[in-house]
Amino acid sequence: MRKNMTKTEKEHNKDFYREMYKKLYSLFEGVTPVKKDCGVLCGAACCRGDERTGMILFPFEETKLRVFPANGIRYAVCEGKCIRSERPLSCRIFPLFPALDEKGRVSVIADPRGYDICPLARHSEDVIFDRRFVKNVKKAGKILSKDERCKKLLFEITSQTDELSALLEKLEK
Ligand code: SF4
Ligand code: SF4
């Protein structure tokens, strides 16, 4: 945030982002990666929080979870429990991600950061994801990319996922 931002600007920002996240969260109310509870496949591996892992928070995304900053990004730590209706956006879109290219186009990818823990991410080519979920991850990407701060973060994560995918591909050869 600009240091010399006025109080009114800050409030305006807060309201703007609150509304935006409300809209984004609503895309995933009752919409999950697959039609059945995928938690039974892995013992809900993505919700086994610990002190060393966290979920990326998007700019100005609010949470009641504990937050730690690292390399200019805020992470929420959950210890494996949360109020479902308040879970961060990163949890809602996992294990997919709205990748953003230089032309501002959004494409939905299986998040390679989740390969370790998530069978859906690992076997994404064989998984039948809920079409509404995929569509809404894309929609979320489009909404986020309209905001400069969120767009920047989408780019950053996309470049990380690209690097990781390239690395994993090399290792498989
Ligand atoms: S790790 Fe993947 S399969 Fe397991 S609960 Fe999370 S999203 Fe579902
Ligand atoms: S915040 Fe909730 S949904 Fe997200 S990882 Fe933690 S327990 Fe799971």
Helix (H) or strand (E) holding 13: helix 7-26
User: How much is the pLDDT for 11?
Assistant: 74
CB of residue 78 inside a 6 A radius of ligand 2: yes
Q: Tell me if 51 is assigned to some domain.
A: yes
Omega of the bond leading into 95 within 30 degrees of 0 (cis): yes
Q: Tell me if 52 is assigned to some domain.
A: yes
User: How much is the pLDDT for 54?
Assistant: 87
The answer to whether 84 touches 120, Cβ cutoff 8 Å, is: no
Structural domain containing residue 161: 7-31+43-172
Structure tokens at 79: 């210890």
> Tell me: the pLDDT tens digits for 99-135?
999 999 999 999 999 999 999 999 999 999 999 999 9
> How far does the centroid of ligand 1 lie from the alpha carbon of residue 33, in Å?
8
Q: Tell me if 101 is assigned to some domain.
A: yes
The protein residue with its alpha carbon nearest to ligand 2, atom 4, reads 91
| CB count in 10 Å sphere of residue 51 | 9
Residues with a CB atom less than 6 Å from ligand 1: 33, 38-39, 41-42, 44-46, 94-95, 117-120
C-alpha count within 13 angstroms, C-beta hemisphere, residue 151: 11
Q: Tell me if 141 is assigned to some domain.
A: yes
> How far does the centroid of ligand 2 lie from the alpha carbon of residue 169, in Å?
29
> Tell me: the pLDDT tens digits for 16-69?
999 999 999 999 999 999 999 999 999 999 998 666 678 999 999 999 999 999
CB of residue 54 inside a 6 A radius of ligand 2: no
The arithmetic mean of pLDDT across residues 139-164, rounded, is 96
Helix (H) or strand (E) holding 74: strand 73-77
> How far does the centroid of ligand 1 lie from the alpha carbon of residue 47, in Å?
8
Task: Give the count of domains, the chain.
Answer: 1
pTM: 0.92
Report the candidate in 131, 132, 159, 153 with the shortest Cα–Cα distance to residue 141. 153
| CB count in 10 Å sphere of residue 142 | 13
Q: Tell me if 2 is assigned to some domain.
A: no
Using CA atoms, how far apart are residues 54 and 45, in angstroms rounded to an integer? 13
Using CA atoms, how far apart are residues 56 and 89, in angstroms rounded to an integer? 8
15 pLDDT more than 70: yes
Q: Tell me if 85 is assigned to some domain.
A: yes
Confidence of residue 140 (pLDDT cuts 50, 70, 90): very high
Q: Tell me if 37 is assigned to some domain.
A: no
Q: Tell me if 91 is assigned to some domain.
A: yes
Q: Tell me how far CA of residue 7 lies from CA of 53, 60, 73, in angstroms.
A: 33, 15, 23
> How far does the centroid of ligand 1 lie from the alpha carbon of residue 34, in Å?
10
